Structure 1
Amino acid sequence: MSSQASLRPAVVLSLVLVVWALTGLTHAQPKASVLDFSASLGNLLPSLSRPANSSRIFYGVMFDAGSTGTRIHVYTFIQKDPEELPVLDNEMFHSIKPGLSAYADMPEMGGYTVRQLLKVAKKTVPRLEWKRTPLVLKATAGLRLLPSEKSQALLEQVQDVFDESPFFVPDDSVSIMNGTNEGILAWVTVNFLTGHLYAETRETVGILDLGGGSTQITFLPKSKKTIGSSPDDYIARIDMFNSTYELYTHRTCIKYLLCHVIHRPPYIIVLLYTPGLEWRVFKSSCLPKKFREEWSFGGLTYIVSGKPDGESYVGYKLCYQEVLKVVKDIVHQPYELKDTSVFYAFSYYFDRAVDAGLIDRTQGGMLEVRDFKKRAKEVCNKMSKYRPINPFLCMDMTYITCLLKDGFGFKENTVLQLTKKVNNVETSWALGATFNHFQNLKIHR
């Protein structure tokens, strides 16, 4: 599972030159903290004595250790002229399954998977550049949920692999990233790739992420009332690209799930924890009438089924009422979302739109919130048609619709751009996290 993407036209990376100009040509030490690393950028960029027409290429390697797999991103930057800004030229991406958390009882195997992925970096980065190319791994939900001793054992194995590698290894090169920073750094990635961080109007796009049991939203508010009416821990300030951005960002964990990542349709879990559920038997109007399945989670086995008697027990309206009971009161509604413009939506938003035939898996697409609603009605009111393909599709589409409309408060004509790449670069937090190390991007809570 690998792909190579070239960024054309190349996207401008602005702050690197500024940091280089401020820090000079300070020599890098064998180890450096994030705060110290910005001072080593002079070694990555061309010196002022180089000919004006010469170019310098430098690299960054970021590992995304997620719950379902581990991914490596190798970014190539070009400094064409000391007095011009560098550009992001290329991304090499490769992934491997399962994720590190699957090796909780075999940490050595987890380290082995990272060692295998490092071969991609060695093939992409020229040997002469290895010693000055930073190597970083950020783990997310999978490791966050493991007992601390197991996650620590995995991180130590990865650290050993990094220390044995020929690449530049900062002191904090291996760590677990909190969920809030995931959203912030993904916002940085998307707005960088779309060119919005350089616009004088400061028009940016928001991002939406949806996983099994959690949902995240990050955007730049236009109204001071949004910031003033939001809980303090929903606002984060980042200083980057010579600008300060005060973002609204929040990750909601549904009920008692503690943001657990489920490896099957996620939205059924939301309803399983509905108050009043008895005997762990879940009957829903969101499922086909004759559907019945055993499903295990958290050491317990549940029976999941549709409501078998009568047409009146199924359909979009009844399904929406079920989902609304869970969504209401757990998702904060920002003041201004009804008036915002484009949002980029990832993960299950994208996957379920593909399953429902709303977008192409390769190309992605642009949808309005009303498109999810329309297809949810079609699927729920003709569940027998979709049962062989995906018996959970009615529930999934209704949940997305309810979350967007009654959860976040989007208008039906709000535009969502569903994609996995922008300008052929992965839209994950990885590029934003690379900036965090290259540029000493600071996130203030």
Structure 2
Amino acid sequence: MLLSSHFPRRAGSNKGYAVIIDAGSSGSRLHVFQYIKEGSIPLLVHKGKDSLSLKTRPGLSSFASNPKAAGTSLDRLLEFAKENVPEKDRGTTPLYLMATAGLRLLDVGVQDAILESCRDVLRLGGFMFKDEWASVITGIDEGIYAWVAANYALGTLGGDPQETTGIVELGGASAQVTFVPEVVPPPAFRHELYLGGVTYTLYTYSFLQFGQEAAWEKLLEMITAGVLKTTLSEAEHEDVVVDPCTPRGYVFKQNSIISEVTNEQSVKEAIPSIRSAGNFTDCRRAALALLQRGRDNCLYKKCAIGSAFVPELRGKFFATENFYYTSEFFGLPSTTSLAEMELAGQHYCGEDWKTLQQKHQGMETEDLLKYCFSTAYIVALLHDTLGVDMRDDRVRFTNRVGEVPLDWALGALIVHLENDNFGEVPPVWLFGEESFRIFAILGCVVLLGFVVWMIMRFRRPHLKTIYDLEKGRYITTAARSHR
């Protein structure tokens, strides 16, 4: 007899695995999570810093001109997942691919083609996968997931909403702000989240194209097109445009970063020369002008970024992703203030490009170029736009609380475990799925044989033996049935 068990796969605990691919603008990062399901909020099992995470480049959006090739970029990630999920658990381990702002910027048709290429690969990955689990998530989803991850790490989920911590993310293509405000925000910026037995009324919004990479590229476009005028723009030659966000001494070349951020050939031809100036104050002013673009379309009493409403920031906040990477580059602690970030930026922007290269040998040129802009953009975004005081200690620049990563993928796992009920371990057949199929076939054969035997038995004529007096011997004859 076949037996099934609803007990956990590992004695004494209800453990499971989940795999999430964060398909971002600069690359795809795969996370392998192991958890113990106890109540509505799972307990994450940690195995050391970054041991279950792998990032590959380029991002899926780079396959816009060749969508069919996108799926192959996931091969190494799937190998990594198989290395970290036991073979016997893969069939019951859900696998999600969630694409963010990089793919959101593409046309829907291109998005669908890239995702379908990925689905072709993920279906054969050996994990539990459904086509709808490969999708482009909204910026609002991304912000909510990050908020959930932050408050899971702090242990505040399931408690007083006013005791939760907000989160400000600075990604590559977008920025997100999510927190519990004092006053209920307008419907377009409000989200009700039920988690851990508590309903949270959140302010959440995703500022597309205001991520660090997208903003830096847009700023360069505006400078080269002459849209932004800085105090340094009064160059000695009319055909020279000054870039205050690039360290002085850096020489722009043909097909360099500037030619990559614009497709307007007329603009390229109109700007014969760009001079890097490396001035923090001017760069900050230019970044603020970028953040305020579109404010004329504001429909609310006050708009902080573009035409989007942002209420007064309440309580404590984590500043993650590029906020953290910038502070880490300068060796600043998580408790650093914006005043300290400003000092680091002023010093860096004032350095000569060759000096910076010597100090930071081995770093990619593109990364080294952006730290002048990133410090100025952070101060312009958090202080000049969102109103965080320059010496405010409410903001922590970090990507981790203890061993828990402040990654929206973790928040996505927690939300999906509650909504999709993957915390319940499915029945495990004693003989395994393959054995079950074999036994089922044998059972059908035996049953069929029994039916045939019964039919033959009842259709066979009944015989009787009698003594024939004329022939003087016993004979066998068919018996008549009497009805």
Q: Normalising by the residue count of structure 1, what TM-score does the alignment of the two structures yield?
A: 0.72
CA contact (8 A) 1:111 1:154 kept: yes
Distance 1:344 1:94 in 2: 23
Does residue 88 (structure 1) correspond to residue 44 (structure 2)? The answer is yes
Which of 376, 390, 395 is matched with 1:398 structurally? Answer: 376
Does residue 252 (structure 1) correspond to residue 207 (structure 2)? The answer is yes
Change (3 A) 1:258 1:402: closer
CA contact (8 A) 2:249 2:353 kept: no
Does residue 275 (structure 1) correspond to residue 230 (structure 2)? The answer is no
Matches within 5 A, 1:302-317: 303-306=273-276, 315-317=279-281
Does residue 373 (structure 1) correspond to residue 331 (structure 2)? The answer is no
Match of 2:387 in 1: 409
CA contact (8 A) 1:376 1:398 kept: yes
* 1:393 Cα offset (Å): 3.7
Match of 1:61 in 2: 19
What SS does structure 2 have at the residue aligned with 1:196? coil
Change (3 A) 1:333 1:272: farther
Distance 1:358 1:249 in 2: 28
Matches within 5 A, 1:195-214: 195-200=155-160, 202-212=162-172, 214=174
What SS does structure 2 have at the residue aligned with 1:374? helix
What SS does structure 2 have at the residue aligned with 1:344? strand
Distance 1:241 1:317 in 2: 46
* 1:401 Cα offset (Å): 0.9
* 1:244 Cα offset (Å): 0.9
CA contact (8 A) 1:189 1:431 kept: yes
Change (3 A) 1:290 1:248: same
Matches within 5 A, 1:240-389: 240-253=195-208, 261-262=213-214, 268=220, 275=227, 282-288=241-247, 290-294=249-253, 295-296=258-259, 297-300=261-264, 301=268, 303-306=273-276, 315-328=279-292, 329=295, 331=305, 334-337=310-313, 340-341=315-316, 343-359=317-333, 365-380=334-349, 382-384=350-352, 388-389=356-357
Q: Given residue 69 of structure 1, which amino acid in structure 2 is its aligned partner?
A: G
Distance 1:157 1:206 in 2: 36
Distance 1:232 1:386 in 2: 51
**Could you say what the CA RMSD is over the residues aligned between the two structures, in angstroms?**
3.7
* 1:67 Cα offset (Å): 1.6
Distance 1:261 1:115 in 2: 26
Match of 1:142 in 2: 102
Change (3 A) 1:72 1:405: same
CA contact (8 A) 1:271 1:326 kept: no
CA contact (8 A) 1:333 1:408 kept: no
Change (3 A) 1:183 1:274: farther
Distance 1:84 1:335 in 2: 31
**5+ residue gaps, structure 2:** 296-303, 358-367, 421-483
What SS does structure 2 have at the residue aligned with 1:95? strand
Aligned sequence identity (%): 29
What SS does structure 1 have at the residue aligned with 2:336? strand
What SS does structure 2 have at the residue aligned with 1:112? helix
1:176-221 CA-to-partner distances (Å, cap 9, x unmatched) read: 1111211111111111122121444741211112245642211121
Distance 1:214 1:378 in 2: 27
Larger strand percent: 1
Which of 80, 98, 104 is matched with 2:64 structurally? Answer: 104
Change (3 A) 1:146 1:118: same
Match of 2:398 in 1: 419
Does residue 72 (structure 1) correspond to residue 48 (structure 2)? The answer is no
Distance 1:266 1:375 in 2: 24
Matches within 5 A, 1:212-251: 212=172, 214-221=174-181, 223-224=182-183, 227=184, 230-251=185-206
Q: Given residue 351 of structure 1, which amino acid in structure 2 is its aligned partner?
A: Y
Q: Normalising by the residue count of structure 2, what TM-score does the alignment of the two structures yield?
A: 0.67
* 1:98 Cα offset (Å): 1.4
1:127-149 CA-to-partner distances (Å, cap 9, x unmatched) read: 33222211111111222223333
Distance 1:436 1:402 in 2: 33
Change (3 A) 1:57 1:286: closer
Change (3 A) 1:107 1:138: same
Q: Given residue 246 of structure 1, which amino acid in structure 2 is its aligned partner?
A: T
Which of 165, 181, 200 is matched with 2:125 structurally? Answer: 165
What SS does structure 2 have at the residue aligned with 1:197? coil
Distance 1:276 1:265 in 2: 13
Distance 1:174 1:244 in 2: 28
Matches within 5 A, 1:185-196: 185-196=145-156
**Rg: which structure is higher?**
2
CA contact (8 A) 1:61 1:74 kept: yes
Change (3 A) 1:260 1:346: closer
Match of 1:177 in 2: 137
Distance 2:318 2:130 in 1: 32
**5+ residue gaps, structure 1:** 1-26, 28-41, 308-313, 360-364
Distance 2:13 2:82 in 1: 21
Distance 2:57 2:78 in 1: 15
